[in-house]
Structure 1
Amino acid sequence: MALMMGGGSEALNESERADLDAIEALKVSGAHELKEQGNQYVKKGKKHYSDAIDCYTRAINQKALSESDTSVLFANRAHVNLLLGNSRRALTDAEEAIKLSPSNFKAHYRAAKAALSLDLLTEATSFCQAGIEQSLDNDELKKLLKQISLRQSQRENRDAQAAKALVASKDLASAIEDRGLKLGRAMYQELTGLKKPILDVNNILHWPVLLLYAEVMSSDIIEDFCETETFSFHLDMISFPMPFLLLFLLNSKF
């Protein structure tokens, strides 16, 4: 078999060209065979996913296939990486597949899935939309786009609620400070739970108030004690324990 000549050498003769063509054909055939082996490993299940990735990688490294066929290899490897939970690697492979063949809608789909797994919602949306442009009737891409839109709405709602809670917390802290009040360490949370003071829209504070009856080992809680109200306003709604009432009466002055 004729040897390949370095730069500046004479033009190849027909025999040398034939040898190179034969070598190239073997590389192409080998790459296709590796691709099919990879596909078979995927079908065999999770235990063989690493073998599938190895086959696709070796086929890519042959650098013998067209850009379109190589795009399929990257998209296939992205698919296996998704199955393994390797979202970042899957995204990298899918993006490479798209560069090689922008019409590869499966690559767009896998890029979108990987981006969604990484919570890259803007990128996921773009991949989905680009994929739908390549395959207008693709139901999987449309379904995925709806999932991404739902996730985006949920994120926006969470962000809005968090921002609202932050503003409310700052307003409450300012209201307490303006009144010259100082808060101590939380006590008796086993009785009060997570109840906290609230500042209403009229800038009025509402407090949870705990009543402890040490003599009878009992308690009551007023969940909403408005700062503009007096204690007597709530008396009719409190069920004092009988022993406490007797002690109260015995110690009261008539």
Structure 2
Amino acid sequence: MALWMEKGSEPLTETEKADLEAIAALKESAAFEFKEKGNQYVKMGKKHYSDAIDYYTRAIDQKALSDSETSILFANRAHVNLLLGNLRRALTDSNEALKLCPSNIKAIYRAAKASLSLNMLAEAREYCLKGLQFDPNNEDLKKLDRQIGLKISEKEKHEAEASKAVAETKKLVSAIENRGLKIGKAMYLELTGLRKPVLDKSNILHWPVLLLYAEVMSSDFIEDFCETDMFSVHLDMIFSEDQPLSWDVENNYKREFIELYYEQTGSGLCLSKEKLLHCLLEGTAAAHREGVGDEEKDTVEDYKQHMGSPKWIKVNERRTLHDVLKEPNFIIPGIPVFYVVSKRSSFYGKFKAGKWAPPSI
């Protein structure tokens, strides 16, 4: 008895025809039974979703149902895969359903939903438009299409902001490069955050500047230190008579006793142009947060190898910020950092002798 025939061949006898029809009926019955089992497991909740997928798969594997019925099975399995977060599988099942029945609205909806969750926005919109051609009043598709539209608008807005951030940051990097300034690894990020310089319309740099009181490791911030400003202008404001420092009980840090220093650093600590661009883009719409690259790790190691005893360079208050930053021995640690000491303090001798060093970074 021939239970399976080669494709394209015809049964030779009425008995063989009857046998094949009986087998087909059994397989069809089994497929419907598996489908119903799958539906029951879906209703039983998440713990049984894997069982539902198993039974829908068994029904499909019977290869006994019409295209429209098999399309429903694929759409049902797509539904369960969506519930489980198996987005790629859900999209594949939806497309298999649509190959068999292009007007299967549930399959179209699930394909659109899976595409949206996968951030395939153009594809999701295409599925929705296709579904609304078949069923213009479908509220679920309309709602999903509105969600997709919002996502597309958000993406376009983000891409525009990212492009603007990249363009502005490239101008900033060029301005830094044209001035011959050297930027190294950022220090004291817990104090400075993601502050960065700004290039104004007149091509003038405005720097956030960190002042550290080495003796007590307290700090002050100058949010906008124009590169053409002299240090004395800002120090006069910070150390005005009517604003004494709360922790300076001995009144050592009066204006006339203040000196400002920066740390002379060794060579080989500068960030490359690409790495500088990457760092300056942090916190913008174009930020790349894939982690610290090898180049930055090398910089950290290089810094540790060159540390030794610090060498302090005194700042002439009558000079501008630009004049100091362009010194060949000044590598800016992300943003300019200057150390404030008092000639009147007992700490002054220790600092000048190089017996104090900033905390390791």
SS across alignment from 2:254: helix
Residue of 234, 253, 256 corresponding to 1:244: 253
Give how far 1:247 is off.
5.7
| Higher helix fraction (1 or 2) | 1
SS across alignment from 1:183: coil
The one-letter code sitting in structure 1 at the alignment partner of 2:34 is L
| Structure 2 alignment gaps of length 5 or more | 246-250, 259-341, 345-361
- Paired with 2:73 and 2:10, the residues of 1 have a C-alpha distance of 35
Inter-CA distance 47–216: structure 2 relative to 1 (3 Å threshold): closer
**Correspondence list, 1:141-180, <5 A:** 141-180=141-180
Backbone CA RMSD of aligned residues:
2.6
The one-letter code sitting in structure 2 at the alignment partner of 1:209 is V
The one-letter code sitting in structure 1 at the alignment partner of 2:253 is F
Q: TM-score, normalised by structure 2?
A: 0.63
- 1:94–1:110 contact (8 Å) kept in structure 2: yes
The structure showing larger relative contact order (alpha-carbon pairs under 8 Å, at least 6 residues apart) is 2
Which region of structure 1 is more displaced relative to structure 2, 88-97 or 242-251? 242-251
| Structure 1 alignment gaps of length 5 or more | none
- Asked if 1:114 corresponds to 2:114, the answer is yes
The one-letter code sitting in structure 2 at the alignment partner of 1:132 is L
- Paired with 1:27 and 1:215, the residues of 2 have a C-alpha distance of 86
Which region of structure 1 is more displaced relative to structure 2, 119-128 or 225-234? 225-234
Give how far 1:240 is off.
5.2
- 1:216–1:244 contact (8 Å) kept in structure 2: no
Map of 2:50 onto structure 1 = 50
Inter-CA distance 64–10: structure 2 relative to 1 (3 Å threshold): closer
The one-letter code sitting in structure 2 at the alignment partner of 1:248 is F
The one-letter code sitting in structure 2 at the alignment partner of 1:100 is L
The one-letter code sitting in structure 1 at the alignment partner of 2:40 is Q
SS across alignment from 1:157: helix
Give how far 1:11 is off.
3.9
**Correspondence list, 1:26-65, <5 A:** 26-65=26-65
The one-letter code sitting in structure 1 at the alignment partner of 2:63 is K
- Paired with 2:135 and 2:35, the residues of 1 have a C-alpha distance of 24
- Paired with 2:41 and 2:147, the residues of 1 have a C-alpha distance of 30
- Asked if 1:207 corresponds to 2:207, the answer is yes
- Paired with 2:143 and 2:173, the residues of 1 have a C-alpha distance of 45
- Paired with 2:193 and 2:2, the residues of 1 have a C-alpha distance of 84
Which region of structure 1 is more displaced relative to structure 2, 204-213 or 234-243? 234-243
Inter-CA distance 63–230: structure 2 relative to 1 (3 Å threshold): same
Question: For each residue in 1:114-153, what CA deviation from the matched residue of structure 2 results, as whole angstroms up to 9, or x when unmatched?
Answer: 1112211111111111111122111111111111122222
Report the identity percentage.
62
Q: TM-score, normalised by structure 1?
A: 0.87
Map of 1:20 onto structure 2 = 20
Give how far 1:163 is off.
2.0
SS across alignment from 2:252: helix
Which region of structure 1 is more displaced relative to structure 2, 102-111 or 2-11? 2-11
The one-letter code sitting in structure 2 at the alignment partner of 1:134 is F
- 2:3–2:19 contact (8 Å) kept in structure 1: no
- 2:235–2:255 contact (8 Å) kept in structure 1: no
- 1:213–1:244 contact (8 Å) kept in structure 2: no
The one-letter code sitting in structure 2 at the alignment partner of 1:114 is A
Map of 2:301 onto structure 1 = none
- Paired with 1:58 and 1:10, the residues of 2 have a C-alpha distance of 27
Question: For each residue in 1:150-187, what CA deviation from the matched residue of structure 2 results, as whole angstroms up to 9, or x when unmatched?
Answer: 22222222222222222222111110111121223433
The one-letter code sitting in structure 2 at the alignment partner of 1:245 is K
Which region of structure 1 is more displaced relative to structure 2, 189-198 or 40-49? 189-198
- Paired with 1:9 and 1:150, the residues of 2 have a C-alpha distance of 57
Which region of structure 1 is more displaced relative to structure 2, 28-37 or 86-95? 28-37
- Paired with 2:153 and 2:160, the residues of 1 have a C-alpha distance of 10
Inter-CA distance 188–58: structure 2 relative to 1 (3 Å threshold): closer
- 2:236–2:255 contact (8 Å) kept in structure 1: no
